[in-house]
Amino acid sequence: MKNTPTDPVPILQDLIRCRSVTPAEGGALSYLERLLAARGFSCQRLIFREAGTPDVDNLFARIGTGAPHLCFAGHTDVVPEGIAESWTHAPFAAEIADGFIYGRGATDMKGPVAAFVAAAIDYLRGAGPLKGSISFLITGDEEGPAINGTVKVLQWMRENGHVPDHCIVGEPSCTERLGDTIKIGRRGSVSFTVSVEGKQGHAAYPHKADNPIPKLARFIDRIAAARLDDGNAHFDPSTLAVTSFDVGNPAANVIPSRASAKFNIRFSTEHGFASLRNWVDAEVAMVREQMGGQWSVAATEGADAFITEPGAFVALVKEAVERETGINPRLSTSGGTSDARFVKDYCPVLEFGPINATIHQTDERIAIDELRATQRVYGRIIADYFSAGS
């Protein structure tokens, strides 16, 4: 008799009921540890600390010791629920209604975690001796500072001989239908604060003051109109968004002594942190030469741009998605950042998961049919990966 597939629905419900608002573990990792250990996985709980940041609990679980080694990465921490009374169903009750499971993390990303855990359990039960290794890297710090989570687990994995050959991050990648998008990279992100010092004075005597506002306005106009690049085969053109222009001046008759602006650049692989800092410095120098002023520039590096070039691994996942969903997925680098930005330094990585329509929203939810279909996609990926000996 054919084995009955493991149902991810109760797994997801149990995970949602763990109140794991970042950085709290909430029992979610303990639940997964028990579930996986009972199926033969070797589990390691990894708690990392750093001064000034919250302690974070993480889980690494692996079965098998050889190659090829396929890792599934995800997180069980979730963002706060917001106003609980605004939810149609309580945010940590995991109630089922109209074919959906409601709850914080249903899609981002306890749903994908439940789906790939269930898929792995089924594969191990029916495939005979494992020809390689399957592992799970589950962090409690993806929605937080991302300091004591995936980045440090990966370091531990390298030090202890657990670097995978390939990794799939279960972030909700699809936009309209399950299967429509696989993320094979992400744009980089860097934020700048540019300030100009002047001399305060009375608005009736502007010649006695040194107004920093026109100087900074000239600079902002220049960078806002600039085209950073034309993109490339995998990335749209880089973008720049001005997010703040502040002089801290409530008075209409006072020229302020200081003006500051903030802006964020989301960039393709045509750029890096150093090249963008050089470009900003050059633009500042040009305006300073024209208009004077004392300028300062501060940069906060977010994530570097990266791409997993299409090849055998991407093709395998793409074919598995299409076979299970009937959709030919597009290969995308859109969106913000994810923990894939850390994994890419260790092995090829891509992201695939369910529809992202309700992530971080009130009434976050996932359709039961979609959850089970996501499990089938992961199951197909696992089966094809080990049959191909990738």
Residue 323 CA to residue 371 CA, distance in Å, equals 16
Q: Judge contact between 263 and 242, C-beta under 8 A.
A: yes
Residue 320 CA to residue 302 CA, distance in Å, equals 32
Q: Considering 81, 108, 142, 364, which one is annotated as catalytic?
A: 142
Name residue 43's amino acid.
Answer: C
Structure tokens at 375: 């499990």
User: What is the maximum span of the chain, computed from C-alpha positions, in angstroms?
Assistant: 92
Half-sphere exposure of 225 (CA within 13 A, CB side): 7
Structure tokens at 75: 């997180």
Active site residue 236: no
Q: Judge contact between 183 and 333, C-beta under 8 A.
A: yes
Q: Which pLDDT belongs to residue 193? A: 98
In a 3-state reduction of DSSP, which class is residue 378? helix
Q: Which pLDDT belongs to residue 190? A: 96
Identify the CA nearest to 146 among candidates 335, 301, 362: 301
Q: How many residues does the chain have?
A: 390
CB-based contacts of 53, cutoff 8 Å, min separation 6 = 145, 147, 148
Q: Considering 25, 57, 77, 304, which one is annotated as catalytic?
A: 77
Same fold, 8-186+305-388 and 188-303: no
Identify the CA nearest to 56 among candidates 135, 117, 142, 114: 142
Q: Which CATH class is domain 188-303?
A: alpha beta
Vertex 121: Cα angle to 138 and 39 (nearest 5): 80
Q: 162: exposed, middle or buried (C-beta count within 10 Å: 0-12, 13-18, 19+)? A: buried
DSSP H or E run through 31: helix 28-37
CATH number of 8-186+305-388: 3.40.630.10
List alpha helices for 201-360, DSSP H. 213-225, 273-291, 312-325, 340-343
Give the domain ranges of the chain: 8-186+305-388, 188-303
Q: What is the DSSP letter of 108?
A: T
Q: Which pLDDT belongs to residue 2? A: 60
Q: Which residues of the chain have pLDDT under 50?
A: 1, 390
Identify the CA nearest to 171 among candidates 200, 199, 143: 143
Q: Judge contact between 371 and 112, C-beta under 8 A.
A: no
Structure tokens at 365: 């939810």
Name residue 198's amino acid.
Answer: G
DSSP H or E run through 126: helix 110-126
Q: Judge contact between 182 and 352, C-beta under 8 A.
A: yes
Active site residue 345: no
Indicate the pairing of strand 69-75 with strand 166-169.
parallel
Indicate the pairing of strand 239-246 with strand 258-267.
antiparallel
